[in-house]
Structure 1
Amino acid sequence: MLNWQLTVAVVAGALVGLGVFLLIRETSPATPALGPALRRLHPNPERPARIADPGSQDLAWLSGATRWLRPPHKELALLGKTPEQYALSLLLSVLIGLATPAVVTIALSAAGISLPVVVPALAGLGLAAGGALVAHQDVLSKAKQARREFSRAVCTYLDLVALQMSAAHGPVQALERAAKVCDGWVFDRIREALRLAQLQMHSPWDELRDLSDQIGVPELGDVGSIMQSSGTEGAQVHETLRSRADSLRDQIRTDNLARAEAVTGRLDIPGALLVFVLIGFVLYPFLARI
């Protein structure tokens, strides 16, 4: 006769062991990969090279899973993650969701409380699906916040490029000097794109537009389009850059006000509930006498 408690214990132990193995594999230091660095220096001219995480080579076994998961590529590129890392986060969330009911069932069994096998099985499936959904929404939420931060940084970058153009610098030099002024992950991505354009002998505005399409930030593509007119047609674009920065600043201010109004509207709900509770306390003595 099959012992369901022993089966659940073995399956839970295997899942927990797999999760611990994956965590140790990710946290352990890996050997630096020389191949991606050489491919960035000597890319294929028909396919521009992109910045890749050397640790993604260790997750090549998850490349098959990314074909049917349909990961959000623009959001992952903005966060600096690979589809394999996205698949690994979903896998860990699913494993945790499956193992949690089994561990709880074992603890209850040790305390003398037995549950039907259907309960932990259904709970595990539900928690697994919920964990995968939470992991996916976490990526989308972080990408949305990072995209807002990128847009604000691009607004500053537009002003800096306009100042460099007003100082009689060339378009390429203006883009590079403006990117070196500020720190932060946004300007690191911009500097890396400009460095990549220099190594590949590409125009920097084309590289900025490619980065804009890759991460889904159209404001950065506007910088490339404006600077292209200066590099190819010799147009004076510092006024255009300033006007674009002003319009982008107004757009960011409008979005912030809309989010603030939405948060304020959600705060009205607990306030209304509190009013009903106070009315109930006031009316209760009169209703109790009746």
Structure 2
Amino acid sequence: MNPVTAAALAGAALGLALCALAAARWARPSLAERLSGPRQSPRLTLRPSEGGILSRIGRVGAPLLHAAGLPGRRATRDLRVCDRDAASYLAEKVTSTLAGLLLPPVMGMLLASFGALPEPVVSLLLWVGFAGLMWFAPDLSLNDEATKRKEEMRRTLSGFADLVVVSLAGGAGVSGALTDASANGGGWAMTAIRDALREASLTRTPVWQILRDLGDRYDTPEFAELSASLHLAGADGARVRSSLSAKAKTLRVQFLAELEAKAQASTERMSLPVVLLFAGFLGLLGYPAMSLILFST
């Protein structure tokens, strides 16, 4: 394909995409449609003060993706874990997709100027693959951030349970032990626990219900175990100290086991570069001798 023709097609595709985004952004229904149709849900609002440059650039196309049903169920759960709004995520997805569609033609024009343009089929496959990768890049980044936050929440919950047991051993009640334990810590995870306990105190909501809701929000099932122990202590008068002590020990042992498993997995991954380095070293040493044997006359 001629580079000029490819550039013209890329420009036409970009222009059509921008026209579609602009039409979806600034289109307004008529008065008759507003009166005859059902009451529409509020339009997706974006907070310009949040998000990076990707969110600000892709702000125009975010309502289009929102109308298409995005974000999905998994992305919505990860956004809730990361305390992010869907608007910034959709804006980053729009900008990332546009970058995936525009960068390959530009690179193709640069390669064509040097006479190194690949075959049209190969170029098309690379273009589609890069665009697909850029489409899923925000999802991968969001999933990675959500995984890290869930791990941090679990670590904080383990330490929080230990502090509650210490406060109970000192003679404090259940509510006082929870408040004291949440006051001795920093970070966003402990702040979330502290705010949840303050909300329970202000709204007269049972603590175990608030903690269970917190676990559902941050996708941390360990909150349900702690909530069950507190519920048992409040409803049946069970020995809350021994129950919480057992839960704290279980969380600590589980967390240490996961750390050990991750360390072993990292050790196993480290063995592959060592083997490759050793194989390369042997090849470097044996190449002169093998070359002399094979190509000697």
After TM superposition, is the score higher than 0.5? Answer: yes
Distance in 2 between the 1:280 and 1:80 partners? 52
Q: Given the alignment, which residue of 12, 29, 37 partners 2:49? A: 29
- Residues 151-187 of structure 1, C-alpha deviations (whole Å, 9 max, x = no match): 1110110011112223333322322232121111001
For structure 2, the residue ranges without an aligned partner over 5 or more in a row are 26-44, 51-58
Q: Does 1:200 align with 2:206?
A: no
Distance in 2 between the 1:73 and 1:28 partners? 20
Q: Given the alignment, which residue of 121, 133, 136 partners 2:136? A: 133
Q: Does 1:210 align with 2:230?
A: no
Displacement after TM superposition at 1:199 (Å): 3.9
| More moved, 275-284 vs 179-188 | 275-284
**Corresponding residue for 1:178?**
181
**Corresponding residue for 1:191?**
194
Kept in 1: contact 2:158–2:248 (CA 8 A): yes
Q: Given the alignment, which residue of 153, 158, 163 partners 1:155? A: 158
Distance in 2 between the 1:244 and 1:112 partners? 67
**Corresponding residue for 1:259?**
262
Kept in 1: contact 2:101–2:127 (CA 8 A): yes
Distance in 2 between the 1:112 and 1:14 partners? 29
Quickly say closer, same or farther: Cα 1:6–1:289, change in 2 above 3 A. Answer: closer
Report the 3-state secondary structure (helix = DSSP H, G, I; strand = E; otherwise coil) of the residue aligned with 2:145.
helix
RCO comparison, higher one (Cα < 8 Å, 6+): 1
Q: Does 1:247 align with 2:250?
A: yes
**Corresponding residue for 1:220?**
223
| More moved, 113-122 vs 278-287 | 113-122
Aligned length, in residue pairs: 258
**Corresponding residue for 1:40?**
none
Quickly say closer, same or farther: Cα 1:61–1:276, change in 2 above 3 A. Answer: closer
- Residues 99-125 of structure 1, C-alpha deviations (whole Å, 9 max, x = no match): 111322344566687778766654333
Which of 1 and 2 has greater Rg?
2
| More moved, 273-282 vs 201-210 | 273-282
Distance in 2 between the 1:4 and 1:283 partners? 49
Kept in 1: contact 2:47–2:87 (CA 8 A): no
**Corresponding residue for 1:8?**
10
Distance in 1 between the 2:138 and 2:170 partners? 47
Distance in 1 between the 2:78 and 2:185 partners? 24
For structure 1, the residue ranges without an aligned partner over 5 or more in a row are 31-55
Q: Given the alignment, which residue of 46, 68, 87 partners 2:90? A: 87
Distance in 2 between the 1:286 and 1:163 partners? 70
| One-letter identity of the residue aligned with 1:105 | G
**Corresponding residue for 1:231?**
234
Report the 3-state secondary structure (helix = DSSP H, G, I; strand = E; otherwise coil) of the residue aligned with 2:67.
coil
Kept in 2: contact 1:9–1:103 (CA 8 A): no
Distance in 2 between the 1:16 and 1:250 partners? 54
Kept in 2: contact 1:77–1:214 (CA 8 A): yes
Counterparts of residues 14-163 of structure 1 (less than 5 Å)? 28-29=48-49, 62-67=65-70, 69-108=72-111, 122-163=125-166
- Identity, in percent, stands at 26
Report the 3-state secondary structure (helix = DSSP H, G, I; strand = E; otherwise coil) of the residue aligned with 1:63.
helix
Cα RMSD over matched residues?
Answer: 3.5
Quickly say closer, same or farther: Cα 1:65–1:187, change in 2 above 3 A. Answer: farther
Displacement after TM superposition at 1:14 (Å): 8.3
